[in-house]
Amino acid sequence: MLLFFVICGILLILIIIYSLIENKFLKISNYSLESLKVTPDLMAKRILFLSDLHGYRFGKDNSRLITRLQSLKPDFILIAGDFITKNKPGTMEATKHLMKDLCKICTVFYSLGNHESTAAFRYPEKYAQFLESIKKSGVIYLDNQSVFYHADGSVSLTYDRKAEENTGLAEDDNASGKVTSAGLKSPVSGNADKLSPVVCKITGLTLGEEYYDQHPAVLTKDLMNELIGEADTENYHILLAHNPECFSAYADWQADLSLGGHYHGGIIRIPGLGGLISPKYRLFPDYTSGAYKKGNTTMLVSKGLGTHTIHFRLFNRPEINILHFSNGKEISDADSI
């Protein structure tokens, strides 16, 4: 019996040591995404997708993470939320510095996870300072807002629910896709007068705590239309939506691609079975990592980069995702001339 406990103890120590080492090494995951809406301009872009850092640091001041991201030469980085931890306001400080460094590499789009939403509510002043700082660094913060990313790297605002409310515009104006003074093609960066062709549309969806409960509220296409307007039928539309649980709504809404995280890969990944546990301690949740398809919508779920509450990940290396786009069209002789 004693021998059994000794062996179990040694195994446990080995697992903990392995986990500590494993979580120092970033993993690169590549995804190929195909849609007829993908333009040659989008195919030419190098796009990274990150999620759930939770204030974790890879090296002093995140130097290892920054060097790795830099080496991948991205055109832009998409962040699907939870880069801070809601009960650790200090993580806002670390993220502020990281954002400053990331913006030196390329354009950064940041949408909110449940931790950003809760921190904004719990620490309004500190969060306002955080927000001011990251925006000053150049981060494009998408809180139920949409932007166009243009071929020359410029960005223009297309939908801003808050601006719309402030200007008192009717919802139908945006729902119908009409140009409104809420900001269609108002510049966020780049040359306002000479906007180059649209590469893709990017929307950051913010959901309330009720969508993260043990028995979550049900998100619908109509609610999404209220929050972020309708999906783009013309341009490839990327939806940054932290919570993969609402995949059905994202597919009904007709996102071309939705990017989420939240599950941290299921904490422990079991070969053949996937992620073990959800943040609400549900076993083998549906969407812990990888690509999922419903209708015309692909959802990618990142394993994330950090931890909170349970500071443990096993067989689940922190992940940087690279997105590769194609439109599936074969190059004809005429095209190649």
Footprint on this chain of Fe ion (rule: CB under 5 A): 82, 113-114, 262
Neighbours of 231 (CB within 10 A): 22
| Nearest to Fe ion of 96, 262 (CB atom) | 262
Measured at CB, which residue is nearest to Fe ion?
A: 262
Query: What is the phi/psi pair of residue 325, to 5°?
Result: -115, 145
Q: How far is the CB of 207 from Fe ion (least distance, A)?
A: 10
Q: Which residues contact 119 (CB under 8 A, 6 or more apart)?
A: 84, 86, 89, 92, 126, 127, 130
| Nearest to Fe ion of 37, 262 (CB atom) | 262
| Nearest to Fe ion of 107, 278 (CB atom) | 278
What tokens were used for 97?
């510095």
Between CA 170 and CA 172, with CA 171 as vertex, the angle to 5 degrees is 90
Q: Which of 105, 48, 79, 137 is nearest to 262 (CA)?
A: 79
Helices (H) and strands (E) in the chain, counts: 11, 16
| Nearest to Fe ion of 83, 148 (CB atom) | 83
Q: Which of 337, 335, 250 is nearest to 297 (CA)?
A: 250
In whole angstroms, how far apart are CA 114 and each of 8, 23, 52, 208, 318? 37, 23, 10, 7, 19
What is the C-alpha to C-alpha distance for residues 256 and 243, in angstroms, rounded to an integer? 16
Strand order in the sheet with 290-294: 186-189, 155-160, 145-150, 198-205, 237-241, 257-260, 297-301, 290-294
The length of the chain is 337
In whole angstroms, how far apart are CA 262 and each of 45, 301, 305, 308, 310? 26, 8, 11, 11, 13
Question: 311 by DSSP, 3-state: which?
Answer: coil
Contact 256, 298 (CB under 8 A): yes
| Nearest to Fe ion of 179, 310 (CB atom) | 310
Q: How far is the CB of 312 from Fe ion (least distance, A)?
A: 16
| Nearest to Fe ion of 114, 289 (CB atom) | 114
Q: Which residues contact 199 (CB under 8 A, 6 or more apart)?
A: 39, 41, 42, 45, 148, 149, 150, 151, 236
